[in-house]
DNA sequence: TTAAAAAAGGGGGAAAATCCCCTATTTAAA
DNA sequence: TTTAAATAGGGGATTTTCCCCCTTTTTTAA
């Protein structure tokens, strides 16, 4: 029986090689190669004829992150199944990843047996979800929180600037707006995100990946 | 030839098992067991007679972190060599870990060959350092930045509260201090840490692990 | 195509944060 | 034991933040 072909995308090389070693130890699975980020993955997919059946993809990566990469993969290689592999327990990130087309989402604190199961199930059924992730999905469909809070481009730009030592006056200058307009953005966001002050905004931005440390 | 005995401490189970798989694939090395945090490690060391030669230790872990755990290990099991394994590139963290007694510090984005080399060198010489870490060490000895910024207990407490939506007045209440004292703490920290406002303080706290998201 | 909603811009005033100056205990170190 | 930090508190001025209210322009949808 021919082993199923896996590719791993993960920015920390040691982890990526360690996961490769683990996957190679499973029966019927074989790691073709590993990549440091989405860009490297796309290059390698174009270069090599050997197309993987499953891509194990980290979510937080430099250059081209898991969500963006998965979207591209789904368009250009719709037959490849992407399984997300992340430490990120943030609901919004998980939902974004699944919307992008991931067929599974594994937290990095699962047992290796779960990884093996996820690989097998994905080959067999085309998808696999742990209970945790299923629950998040169900909750997110009920509360429409995940879809409700839609931030505008200009708001996101403002939030990013807010995660710095700039005063609002300075942010206004950077964005070519009057300080009073900036006041409006802020007040609006405070209400929308249910926060009390700029600290809350910074924490929100970091937790939701708008601002990266 | 008997294989050298390794123990892995890492909060993300899948990564810990993946690294175990990798280490087991090296000649002359064998993973005894893996632990989810420092507390579990200490329990297992007491329970099992089989004492490892090297502990591969993650730095950021819940319950008992890598730095605290390493300090305890150095006291109770001085013969065990600890190698830190982390994504954390923060100078202060690295120095803290080495001060705690780690014999090496590997970033998680090194090649697996480097891990193997680090294990071999540590068995042979009792230590191993990559160039990156050596450079950080040298710089830290020249600039006395790393040692200079010593935060006091009460300051750290204040910083943690600052990473919330509480006003300074509310923080003062929580800490049973006058708002004016809080003013002093803040002004002092701003100067000491070379930051301009509370946002800077929050970012500093997060980057230096004082406040965990 | 027209009404409604969203986005962009702004004003006034109160509250909070920031800055710069200062003093008195208490504790730790030389 | 004396000196130096660390801890706690303060006055007063300035800036920034925050809150509530408003208008104009641009999109979106009926």
**Domain locations in chain A?**
4-142, 149-207
Strand D positions within 7 A of protein Cβ atoms: 6-12, 15-22
Q: B180: Cβ–Cβ under 8 A, 6 or more apart, which residues?
A: none
Lowest mean pLDDT among A41-45, A142-146, B24-28, B202-206: A142-146
pLDDT at B7: 96
Report the nucleotide nearest the CA of residue B178, measured to C1': D9
Q: Which residues of A13-45 are buried (b: 16+ CB within 10 A; e: fewer)?
A: bbbbbbbbbbbebbeebebbbbbbbbebbbebb
Q: Which residues of B57-92 are buried (b: 16+ CB within 10 A; e: fewer)?
A: bbbebeebbbbebbbbbeeeeeebbbbbbbbbeebb
- B13·A196 Cβ contact <8 A: no
Phi, psi (degrees; rounded to nearest 5) at B31: -85, 120
B148 pLDDT above the threshold of 60: no
What residues in B contact A163, CB-CB < 8 Å? 199, 203
**Rounded mean pLDDT of chain B?**
85
Q: How far is the CA of B183 from the C1' of D16 (A)?
A: 16
Length of chain B: 213
Residue lying closest to nucleotide C20, CA to C1': B187
Higher pLDDT, A158 or B22: B22
- B13·A111 Cβ contact <8 A: yes
Give CA separation, B2 vs B5, B30, B44, in Å. Answer: 9, 9, 22
Q: Which of B14, B165, B199 has the CB atom closest to A165's CB atom?
A: B199
A37 pLDDT above the threshold of 50: yes
Rounded to 5°, the CA angle B44-B47-B51 comes to 70
A145 pLDDT above the threshold of 80: no
- A111·B87 Cβ contact <8 A: no
Topology classification of domain A149-207: Arc Repressor Mutant, subunit A (1.10.10)
- B206·A196 Cβ contact <8 A: no
B188 pLDDT above the threshold of 90: no
Rounded to 5°, the CA angle A160-B192-B175 comes to 85
- A14·B197 Cβ contact <8 A: no
Q: Give B58's strand partners.
A: B85
Topology classification of domain A4-142: Rossmann fold (3.40.50)
* Sheet of A29-35, strands arranged across: A29-35, A4-9, A54-58, A81-86, A104-107
B146: its two tokens: 């790393």
CA distance B109 to B94: 15
A47: its two tokens: 């270069």
- Which residues does strand C reach (CB under 7 angstroms)? A 150, 152-155, 177-178, 180-181, 183-184, 187, 197; B 167-169, 183-184, 186-187, 190, 196-199
The proportion of chain A whose per-residue pLDDT surpasses 70, expressed as a percent, equals 90
pLDDT at A138: 62
B144 pLDDT above the threshold of 90: no
Residue lying closest to nucleotide D19, CA to C1': A187
B146 pLDDT above the threshold of 50: no
Please state the rounded mean pLDDT for residues B141-161: 67
| Relative orientation angle of helices A112-125 and B13-25, to the nearest 10 degrees | 100
What residues in A contact B119, CB-CB < 8 Å? none
Q: How far is the CA of B182 from the C1' of D12 (A)?
A: 17
A76: phi > 0 → left, psi -120 to 50 → alpha, else beta; which?
alpha
What residues in A contact B33, CB-CB < 8 Å? none
Question: A206 touching B, CB under 8 A?
Answer: yes
B28: phi > 0 → left, psi -120 to 50 → alpha, else beta; which?
left
Q: Between residues 48 and 107 of chain B, which touch chain A (CB distance below 8 Å)? A: 85, 87, 106-107
Question: B111 touching A, CB under 8 A?
Answer: yes
**What Rg, from alpha-carbon coordinates, does chain B have?**
20
pLDDT in tens, B93-124: 777 788 788 888 898 888 999 999 999 999 99
Higher pLDDT, B14 or A172: B14
pLDDT at A113: 93
Please state the rounded mean pLDDT for residues A117-126: 92
């Amino acid at each position: 029986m021919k082993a199923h072909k896996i590719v791993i995308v993960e920015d920390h090389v040691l982890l990526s090689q360690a996961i490769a070693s683990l996957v190679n130890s499973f029966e019927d699975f074989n790691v073709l190669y590993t990549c440091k980020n989405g860009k490297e993955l796309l290059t390698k997919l174009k270069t090599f004829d050997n197309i993987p059946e499953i891509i194990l993809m980290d979510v937080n990566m430099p250059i081209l992150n898991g969500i963006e990469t998965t979207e591209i993969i789904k368009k250009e290689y719709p037959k490849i199944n992407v399984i997300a592999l992340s430490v990120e327990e943030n609901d919004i990130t998980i939902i974004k990843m699944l919307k992008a087309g991931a067929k599974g989402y594994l937290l990095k604190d699962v047992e290796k047996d779960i990884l093996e199961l996820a690989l097998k199930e994905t080959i067999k059924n085309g998808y696999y979800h742990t209970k945790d992730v299923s629950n998040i999905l169900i909750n997110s469909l009920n509360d429409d929180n995940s879809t409700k809070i839609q931030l505008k481009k200009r708001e996101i730009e403002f939030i990013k600037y807010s995660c710095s030592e700039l005063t609002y006056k300075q942010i206004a200058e950077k964005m070519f707006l009057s300080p009073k307009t900036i006041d409006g953005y802020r007040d609006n966001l405070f209400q929308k995100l249910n926060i009390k002050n700029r600290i809350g905004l910074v924490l929100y931005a970091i937790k939701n990946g708008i601002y990266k440390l």
